Chains A and B, each alone.
Chain A
């Protein structure tokens, strides 16, 4: 047996494998990979207890590049595999990685059930609003009118909002960030990691080849101040250059309105304060869309709730109080009789 020496402090590089990273040059996935490796180093994560599980798609290659345990599984089914891994060993720290097609179309129901069960996983959804691996067909998050090989005249169906979906199915942690926000993203990932339960993080990710610029209307430097609001619990919902704009709760219309400080007598006291435990507020934030509203980034919602894995193991512990199981006894336990 090898003698275990106390672990040296790991760096982001220690979480990288020796595999050649195969995404298109300029893909947003590289930045997310870097952010995740940085996050794990900062969290002083233990590689042997860390597991990355993915389905199918460009994003799903992620586990090959993480020096941890990894499962590249079947299309849309990564939440199911991750659920099994977590239940078999609740000590493991599990990250699920998938794209918008994998997690909202092919695996939409698996994503729903993982989130509603509140099993302790971090689900990272790389949303690029397109099927990249299969060469650019429209996806369930593509905007109406997206011209693609499968929608040459433009897509006609309404896209799903990942964050609203997660809120709707009872998610206990819903956050958003973007591939290019290299300071913001690791902070969001750390919050996701700290949350007990399903932490759902939507990461806007640019597909440079098949959907380039899908998010530039709120990520480009020239517009980002006006078109992004970084929400923080307990802080007023301010945005814009010099934080001159804010959101107020329009109680008559049950919606958020954009206001400018100093206009129409508006002061900071009028601005709504972010309360991440308020699902209604989170839903309103998730609904906001440019150009009339900024995109809300950060932790939209976070509540403490029992996790599926802890409840399962509590049940097992409870059952064990009556002694270890006896299979023969169990088999004879129902309505059984002997034919003489």
Chain B
């Protein structure tokens, strides 16, 4: 399932739209991560003009010619959207495994493998439809990258800027897309000597990045219900760059 995260109160607006875009285009649930800190925070935000957003209308199939509910779009691997009430397109959807070819309930092991693989491929393919990961502050390559996601954006951003002003070679990488991960992320992370994943949990993103890319990412973790202090992050950066 795609997982995307909100990093600031105003970011929530675009993340919500992006979640709907992915959900309708790829016909999948999308998980949006937010937290109480974002919910209770505020910032000035210029209300966007809705007409400045690219439309992503859903196309509904109405033509019964060669229709099959289990057809897949070649590119997205998503199925056709059909509104109940459309003549001649009646079908049943549900969670029991179906034959890849006919859509009938199937208990065939090879078919189940194929269906599992194709479902994973559909989600993984979203990586080609999302932007490459950019460096928020600093530049690709260097001594240290602080990687974060979600509401930690603010304190990490301030700490990294402060430390750069003091001459430390540190960059900020902040992820919106947690799954699938941006297609250039492995290369980007490996361009730094050290990677520190600062997150307000026990290290879930760090575990994921290490598992996916075999990068020796370290964790800076805190679960006391309070956001990171800028000083805590500055200390962590100083410790790593002065040793």
Where the two chains meet, the residues of A that have a C-beta atom closer than 8 Å to any C-beta of B are: 1-2, 4, 17-20, 22, 47-49, 51-52, 54, 56, 61, 63-64, 66-74, 85, 88-89, 91-92, 327-328, 331-332, 336, 338-339
Contacts and interface: CB of A to CB of B under 8 A. Distances in A.
A49 B95 CA distance: 22
20 contacts: A1-B63, A2-B88, A19-B104, A20-B105, A48-B84, A48-B85, A48-B87, A49-B84, A52-B92, A54-B94, A64-B92, A69-B90, A70-B91, A70-B92, A72-B95, A72-B96, A74-B95, A85-B84, A328-B47, A331-B50
Given A17-B92, A48-B88, 5 more contacts: A56-B95, A64-B92, A64-B105, A72-B93, A332-B47
A339 B44 contact: yes
Interface of B: 44, 46-51, 63-65, 83-96, 104-105
Main secondary structure of the interface of B (DSSP, over half): loop
A328 B84 contact: no
Contact of A73 (B89, B91, B94): B94
Given A91-B85, A331-B47, A336-B47, A70 B105 contact: no
Contact of B94 (A20, A63, A85): A63
A95 B155 CA distance: 52
A64 B88 contact: no
A72 B85 contact: no
Contact of B84 (A2, A19, A69): A69
Nearest to A89: B85
Contacts of B104: 18-19
B85 A49 contact: yes
**Ranked 6 nearest A-B pairs via Cβ:** A72-B94, A70-B92, A69-B84, A327-B50, A331-B47, A48-B87
Contacts of B65: 2
Contacts of A72: 92-96
A92 B88 contact: no
A75 to B, nearest CB: 10
